[in-house]
Amino acid sequence: MAYAETRHDIGTRADCEQLVRTFYGRALVDPIIGFLFTDVAKLDLEQHVPRITNFWETILLGAHSYGGGAFRPHAELNLKVPLTRGHFDRWLNLWTTTVDELFEGERAELAKSHAIRVAAAFESRLRSFEPEGFELAPGIPGDELPVIQHHRKARA
């Protein structure tokens, strides 16, 4: 009889980091979006993982470890290689598959639903800019996507 590993919900920073590292391990070699990370953004994974772990720890666990704008780097990437619906769909597919393989529970579901909202918001904002002459000037109101913290309600 095969042993079925029991998945748990995302509950610690270590869980967030495991999710981020597993996701990027797949994304970096993905035939559809891998080049965006390796060739275009030239992502330094060891520098990026703590920052993205902070983002997800803030979203999922209510930590206040993330401070910064998530949109600007994606807008700058979009100037180099236009990001398409297919890129966002692939990112979401890899993310949700990774979440589902590693975790189950309320925060795991939140990780997937928040990723869907972030992808939709980024794609919409990127489409709202005119491609010619588009420049990200510092201090433009709304140049950062706000981080919304979700808190679990205590059960009675």
User: How confident is the model over 68-106, as pLDDT tens digits?
Assistant: 788 888 899 999 999 999 999 999 999 999 999 999 999
Question: Looking at the domain assignment, is residue 2 inside a domain?
Answer: no
117: domain CATH number is 1.10.490.10
Counted domains in the chain: 1
Assessment of whether the complete model's pTM goes beyond 0.75: yes
Helices and strands: H and E segment counts in the chain: 6, 0
With respect to residue 17, please indicate whether it lies within any of the assigned structural domains: yes
Has residue 72 been placed in a domain?
yes
Residues 68 and 93: their CA atoms lie apart, in Å, by: 25
- For residue 89, give Cα distances in angstroms to 43, 97, 119, 144: 20, 12, 8, 22
The verdict on residue 152 lying in a domain is: no
How far, in Å, CA of 107 to CA of 118, rounded?
16
What does the pLDDT look like over 12-64, one tens digit per residue?
999 999 999 999 999 999 999 999 999 999 999 999 999 999 999 999 999 98
Classify residue 68: in a domain, yes or no: yes
Task: Catalogue the long-range contacts made by 61-69 (C-beta closer than 8 Å, 24 or more residues apart).
Answer: 61/10, 61/11, 61/12, 61/13, 61/16, 61/107, 62/149, 62/150, 62/151, 63/13, 65/13, 66/147, 68/144, 69/143, 69/144, 69/145
In-domain check, residue 142:
no
Q: Is residue 34 part of a domain?
A: yes
Any domain includes 83: yes
In sequence order, the 6+-apart residues with CB closer than 8 A to the CB of 65 are 13, 54, 57, 58
**Residue 120 sits in which domain range?**
13-128
